[in-house]
Every structure is written in C-alpha cells, then in structure tokens.
Amino acid sequence: MRPALDLQLKATVNLRRLSDGRHVSFPVKRRNYNLLCCDTQTPRLLVVLDLPSGREEWMTLTADELILRRRAYWLYLGGREETEQTSVTVRIPTTNLFDLEGLTELMDQSRQGRIR
C-alpha cells in the first residue's frame, strides 16, 4: 500500500507553550476541526508552523531551497467527536515534530493503516 497523508497547514507567531513544557496549544476553527475529526481513508493531520515574530525572519527562498524558520508540530484528530463550538483549542505534544524524521514515521504509520 502506498502511504498518503492529507495536511491542513497553519502558521502562527503566537503559538502558546503550555506550563507542562510538553505541549503547545493552538485554536482551530469549528469547520476545520470537524473536517480533521472525520475518519477518512487517508489520514488528515493538522500541522502548525511556529514562526518567529519578525515577518522578515519567516523564510528564505532561493532557486535551490526553501528554508522555514523555527518548528512545525503535527496532530492527528481522527476519531474525535465533532464540535458545535466556534473553535477548539487543541494540545499538541512537542514531541510531534513535523520534520524529516517525523514525516518518515508518519508515512510508515500511514502505510500500516494507523496514525498514533
């Protein structure tokens, strides 16, 4: 089976780090949250990019590379109940890094038919 992921990408300069030091929190609008909660054949992930506060620091783009500053985190919401609230603030473990290692692991999990 070929692995696949659907991603909902968000970026913010205001990512809130929780006092436990192991999570960040991010508000997700109801429509987006409910779409992410649906069980689908291709897993849907929320990916939140934590940007520096200065716009000029966000990225560097050349003909050979795209460099985004800081980190991105992912969260799988599949199987959760939909909401009627205007938005839901989700807690994302800081161990869920959306980097090369994390993406490789996610693709392996997708190939096996499960995302943790």
Q: Examine the pLDDT at 2 and tell me if it is beyond 80.
A: no
pLDDT at position 98 over 90: yes
Q: Which of 96, 69, 86 minimizes the C-alpha distance to 33?
A: 86
Alpha helices in the chain (DSSP H): 30-37, 100-111
pTM beyond 0.85: yes
Q: Please name which of 68, 64, 72 lies closest in space to residue 99, comparing C-alpha atoms.
A: 72
pLDDT digits (tens, 9 = 90+) for 5-58: 999 999 999 999 999 999 999 999 999 999 999 888 888 999 999 999 998 889
Closest of 76, 85, 69, 83 to residue 42, by C-alpha: 76
pLDDT of residue 26: 97
Tell me what pLDDT residue 1 has: 62
What integer best gives the mean pLDDT of the chain?
Answer: 92
Do the bridges between strand 23-29 and strand 87-93 make them parallel or antiparallel, or are there none, so unpaired?
Answer: antiparallel
